[in-house]
Protein backbone atom coordinates (compact mmCIF):
# COMPACT_ATOMS: atom_id res chain seq x y z
CA UNK A 1 0.00 0.00 0.00
CA UNK A 2 1.51 3.32 -1.05
CA UNK A 3 1.47 6.58 0.89
CA UNK A 4 -1.38 7.99 -1.20
CA UNK A 5 -3.72 5.08 -0.36
CA UNK A 6 -2.67 5.19 3.29
CA UNK A 7 -3.50 8.90 3.52
CA UNK A 8 -6.81 8.32 1.75
CA UNK A 9 -7.92 5.59 4.16
CA UNK A 10 -6.72 7.49 7.24
CA UNK A 11 -8.64 10.60 6.28
CA UNK A 12 -11.67 8.54 5.22
CA UNK A 13 -11.81 7.04 8.72
CA UNK A 14 -11.37 10.53 10.22
CA UNK A 15 -14.17 11.99 8.08
CA UNK A 16 -16.64 9.18 8.81
CA UNK A 17 -15.83 9.20 12.52
CA UNK A 18 -16.15 12.96 12.86
CA UNK A 19 -19.35 12.95 10.83
CA UNK A 20 -20.80 10.34 13.20
CA UNK A 21 -19.76 12.44 16.21
CA UNK A 22 -21.31 15.50 14.57
CA UNK A 23 -24.64 13.76 14.00
CA UNK A 24 -24.95 11.91 17.30
CA UNK A 25 -23.48 14.46 19.72
CA UNK A 26 -25.92 16.17 22.06
CA UNK A 27 -23.59 19.15 22.56
CA UNK A 28 -23.73 21.69 19.73
CA UNK A 29 -20.16 22.86 20.30
CA UNK A 30 -18.85 19.30 19.98
CA UNK A 31 -20.90 18.92 16.81
CA UNK A 32 -19.44 22.13 15.39
CA UNK A 33 -15.86 21.01 16.04
CA UNK A 34 -16.59 17.58 14.58
CA UNK A 35 -17.94 19.40 11.50
CA UNK A 36 -14.67 21.33 11.34
CA UNK A 37 -12.63 18.12 11.22
CA UNK A 38 -15.01 16.61 8.67
CA UNK A 39 -14.69 19.59 6.35
CA UNK A 40 -10.91 19.70 6.88
CA UNK A 41 -10.62 16.03 5.92
CA UNK A 42 -12.64 16.75 2.81
CA UNK A 43 -10.13 19.48 1.92
CA UNK A 44 -7.37 16.88 2.22
CA UNK A 45 -9.32 14.66 -0.21
CA UNK A 46 -9.38 17.53 -2.70
CA UNK A 47 -5.64 17.99 -2.25
CA UNK A 48 -5.08 14.28 -2.86
CA UNK A 49 -7.00 14.68 -6.13
CA UNK A 50 -4.64 17.51 -7.18
CA UNK A 51 -7.46 20.06 -6.93
CA UNK A 52 -5.48 22.67 -5.00
CA UNK A 53 -7.85 25.55 -5.59
CA UNK A 54 -10.88 23.57 -4.43
CA UNK A 55 -8.95 22.37 -1.34
CA UNK A 56 -7.92 25.90 -0.36
CA UNK A 57 -11.42 27.19 -1.07
CA UNK A 58 -12.84 24.41 1.11
CA UNK A 59 -10.58 25.47 3.96
CA UNK A 60 -11.18 29.19 3.59
CA UNK A 61 -14.90 29.21 2.88
CA UNK A 62 -16.27 26.27 4.82
CA UNK A 63 -13.82 25.66 7.65
CA UNK A 64 -12.79 29.28 8.04
CA UNK A 65 -16.02 31.07 7.18
CA UNK A 66 -19.11 28.96 7.56
CA UNK A 67 -17.91 27.17 10.69
CA UNK A 68 -16.94 30.45 12.37
CA UNK A 69 -20.38 31.77 11.44
CA UNK A 70 -22.00 28.72 13.06
CA UNK A 71 -19.91 29.14 16.22
CA UNK A 72 -20.72 32.86 16.43
CA UNK A 73 -24.40 32.01 16.01
CA UNK A 74 -24.14 29.52 18.84
CA UNK A 75 -22.32 32.03 21.03
CA UNK A 76 -24.93 34.68 20.38
CA UNK A 77 -27.96 32.49 20.94
CA UNK A 78 -27.11 29.89 23.58
CA UNK A 79 -26.29 31.86 26.68
CA UNK A 80 -28.47 29.80 28.96
CA UNK A 81 -31.61 29.94 26.86
CA UNK A 82 -31.51 26.32 25.76
CA UNK A 83 -30.55 24.58 28.99
CA UNK A 84 -33.79 22.60 29.16
CA UNK A 85 -33.86 21.50 25.52
CA UNK A 86 -34.18 17.74 25.21
CA UNK A 87 -32.99 15.86 22.15
CA UNK A 88 -34.67 12.70 21.03
CA UNK A 89 -34.51 10.37 18.09
CA UNK A 90 -37.40 10.72 15.67
CA UNK A 91 -38.32 8.36 12.83
CA UNK A 92 -35.39 6.04 13.41
CA UNK A 93 -36.84 3.11 11.45
CA UNK A 94 -37.64 5.04 8.22
CA UNK A 95 -34.28 6.81 8.35
CA UNK A 96 -32.44 3.50 8.80
CA UNK A 97 -34.32 1.90 5.90
CA UNK A 98 -33.65 4.91 3.67
CA UNK A 99 -29.93 4.94 4.59
CA UNK A 100 -29.67 1.20 3.90
CA UNK A 101 -31.30 1.59 0.47
CA UNK A 102 -28.96 4.45 -0.43
CA UNK A 103 -25.96 2.43 0.82
CA UNK A 104 -26.94 -0.61 -1.23
CA UNK A 105 -27.47 1.59 -4.28
CA UNK A 106 -24.02 3.19 -3.86
CA UNK A 107 -22.35 -0.20 -3.47
CA UNK A 108 -24.13 -1.46 -6.59
CA UNK A 109 -23.00 1.57 -8.61
CA UNK A 110 -19.45 1.19 -7.32
CA UNK A 111 -19.24 -2.48 -8.23
CA UNK A 112 -20.93 -2.15 -11.63
CA UNK A 113 -18.95 0.85 -12.92
CA UNK A 114 -15.92 0.34 -15.13
CA UNK A 115 -13.40 2.62 -13.46
CA UNK A 116 -10.60 3.88 -15.69
CA UNK A 117 -7.58 5.75 -14.42
CA UNK A 118 -6.39 8.72 -16.41
CA UNK A 119 -2.91 9.87 -15.46
CA UNK A 120 -2.48 13.52 -14.58
CA UNK A 121 -0.71 15.42 -17.32
CA UNK A 122 2.12 17.75 -16.46
CA UNK A 123 0.56 20.98 -17.52
CA UNK A 124 -0.33 24.40 -16.24
CA UNK A 125 -2.05 23.29 -13.07
CA UNK A 126 -1.13 26.20 -10.83
CA UNK A 127 -2.88 28.98 -9.01
CA UNK A 128 -0.49 31.65 -10.20
CA UNK A 129 -2.98 33.13 -12.67
CA UNK A 130 -5.72 33.36 -10.04
CA UNK A 131 -3.37 34.96 -7.55
CA UNK A 132 -2.24 37.54 -10.10
CA UNK A 133 -5.87 38.39 -10.94
CA UNK A 134 -6.78 38.81 -7.26
CA UNK A 135 -3.85 41.13 -6.65
CA UNK A 136 -4.14 43.19 -9.86
CA UNK A 137 -7.50 43.42 -11.65
CA UNK A 138 -9.70 42.45 -8.69
CA UNK A 139 -7.72 44.12 -5.90
CA UNK A 140 -10.50 46.54 -4.87
CA UNK A 141 -13.28 43.92 -4.51
CA UNK A 142 -10.83 41.61 -2.72
CA UNK A 143 -9.92 44.30 -0.17
CA UNK A 144 -13.52 45.49 0.28
CA UNK A 145 -14.61 41.92 1.00
CA UNK A 146 -11.84 41.55 3.57
CA UNK A 147 -12.80 44.79 5.35
CA UNK A 148 -16.49 43.82 5.29
CA UNK A 149 -15.73 40.43 6.86
CA UNK A 150 -13.53 42.10 9.50
CA UNK A 151 -16.35 44.50 10.41
CA UNK A 152 -18.80 41.60 10.64
CA UNK A 153 -16.49 39.73 13.03
CA UNK A 154 -15.97 42.83 15.19
CA UNK A 155 -19.75 43.40 15.30
CA UNK A 156 -20.39 39.78 16.27
CA UNK A 157 -17.80 39.95 19.07
CA UNK A 158 -19.32 43.18 20.39
CA UNK A 159 -22.82 41.70 20.28
CA UNK A 160 -21.67 38.55 22.07
CA UNK A 161 -19.83 40.54 24.74
CA UNK A 162 -22.68 42.86 25.69
CA UNK A 163 -24.38 42.11 28.95
CA UNK A 164 -27.71 40.41 28.86
CA UNK A 165 -30.34 40.45 31.57
CA UNK A 166 -30.16 37.41 33.83
CA UNK A 167 -32.57 34.61 33.17
CA UNK A 168 -35.64 34.41 35.34
CA UNK A 169 -35.13 31.31 37.43
CA UNK A 170 -38.31 29.61 38.44
CA UNK A 171 -38.99 30.42 42.09
CA UNK A 172 -40.04 27.54 44.30
CA UNK A 173 -43.65 27.68 45.45
CA UNK A 174 -44.18 28.72 49.08
CA UNK A 175 -44.65 25.87 51.45
CA UNK A 176 -48.19 25.26 52.63
CA UNK A 177 -47.09 23.59 55.85
CA UNK A 178 -47.43 24.77 59.44
CA UNK A 179 -44.42 27.16 59.12
CA UNK A 180 -46.24 29.35 56.56
CA UNK A 181 -49.40 29.52 58.71
CA UNK A 182 -47.49 30.98 61.70
CA UNK A 183 -46.74 34.19 59.81
Residue ranges per structural domain of the chain: 1-80
| pLDDT recorded at residue 99 | 92
| Integer Rg of the chain from CA | 25
Say whether pTM exceeds 0.85.
no
Domain 1-80 architecture: Up-down Bundle (1.20)
Tens-digit pLDDT string for the chain (183 aa): 789 889 999 999 999 999 999 888 888 888 888 999 999 999 999 988 888 888 888 998 888 888 888 877 777 776 555 555 556 667 888 989 999 999 999 999 999 998 887 776 655 556 777 778 888 898 898 899 889 988 888 887 787 777 555 555 555 555 655 555 555
* Residue 127 confidence (pLDDT): 72
Q: Return the pLDDT at 16.
A: 95
pLDDT of the residue at 173: 55
pLDDT for 72 equals: 76
Q: How far apart are CA 8 and CA 46, in angstroms?
A: 11
Give the model's pLDDT for residue 101.
97
pLDDT in the model for residue 39: 92
The contacts of residue 26 (CB under 8 Å, 6+ apart) are 87
Query: What DSSP state is assigned to residue 25?
Result: -
Cα–Cα dist 57/43, whole Å:
8
Which pLDDT score is estimated for 124? 52
Under DSSP, the state recorded for 80 is S
Task: Give the pLDDT score at 18.
Answer: 94
Amino acid sequence: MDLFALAFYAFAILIVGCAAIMVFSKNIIHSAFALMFTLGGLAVFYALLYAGFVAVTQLLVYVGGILVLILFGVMLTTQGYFDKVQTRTVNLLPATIFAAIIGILLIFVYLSTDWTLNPLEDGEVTLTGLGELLLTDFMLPFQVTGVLLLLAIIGAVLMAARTRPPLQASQPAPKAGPESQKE
